[in-house]
Copies of this chain bind each other. A is one copy, B any other.
Amino acid sequence: MLETANNDRQTGGPAGGRRARRHAETRAEILEAAWEIARSEGLAGLTMRDLAKRVGMRAPSLYSYFASKHEIYDAMFAQGYRQLMERWEALDLPDDPHDLALVAMRLFVEFAVEDPARHQLLFQRTVPGFEPSTESWAVAQEMYQRTLVAPMAAIGITDPHLLDLATALGTGLADQQISNDPGGDRWLRLIDESAEMFLTHARSRKRRR
């Protein structure tokens, strides 16, 4: 081995060490395989055996990368929120409030629908004994700030009630699409109308104050 002079031991070494880098790469591979299984078998259908098989390992070897199955769910949870944030940052944001609201709602609903298992993990949290770690929760909170609170403030909406109403509308469209018309577009087609309804409502409340 070439790294005998390299004194990073196990996973505790410097972030750029060859061993640590390889370790992180394998972790990423495992997570990618986990998403694939979750997508095809359902979130609860993810098992250590299947996961190991898909990355060309035996089940016990996974424990060199994750301490438990819950830790894998936790990493997926944080990764999912980061994905949504990156998707948001990559957008070309329009100035017009109406368009901005529409783009935001469309992003959220389409993100949910394109991977129902991910939506279930991130927003419904119906996995038997799983609770996200505080670190992963922090990622979720940051997403909420950056992709909802901040842009809404930019178009003059700061009332917490209205933010909650917006999230209800978004998850409602997503959940209905996923549960009652998987693969179709029955609720996807209502995104524009919903955004418009919401904005009109928000404006009328503001006027009334």
Contact = CB atoms under 8 A, between A and B. Distances in A.
Interface string A127-171: 010000000000000000000000000000000010011011111
A187 B173 contact: no
Given A124-B126, A126-B124, A194-B165, A176 B171 contact: yes
B179 A164 contact: no
B190 A161 contact: yes
A94 interface: no
Contacts of A197: 165, 197-198, 201
Nearest to A124: B179
Contacts of A161: 189-190, 193
Interface of A: 42, 44-45, 120, 123-126, 128, 161, 164-165, 167-173, 175-176, 179, 186-187, 189-190, 193-194, 197-198, 200-201, 204
Contacts of A169: 168-169, 172
B179 A173 contact: no
What copy number does this chain have within its complex? Answer: 2
A92 to B, nearest CB: 27
27 contacts: A42-B126, A42-B128, A44-B44, A44-B126, A44-B128, A45-B128, A120-B126, A123-B175, A124-B124, A124-B126, A124-B175, A124-B179, A126-B126, A164-B187, A165-B190, A165-B194, A167-B172, A167-B176, A168-B175, A169-B169, A171-B175, A171-B176, A172-B172, A172-B175, A175-B175, A197-B197, A197-B201
Contacts of A171: 172, 175-176
A190 to B, nearest CB: 6
A165 B190 CA distance: 7
Contacts of A45: 128
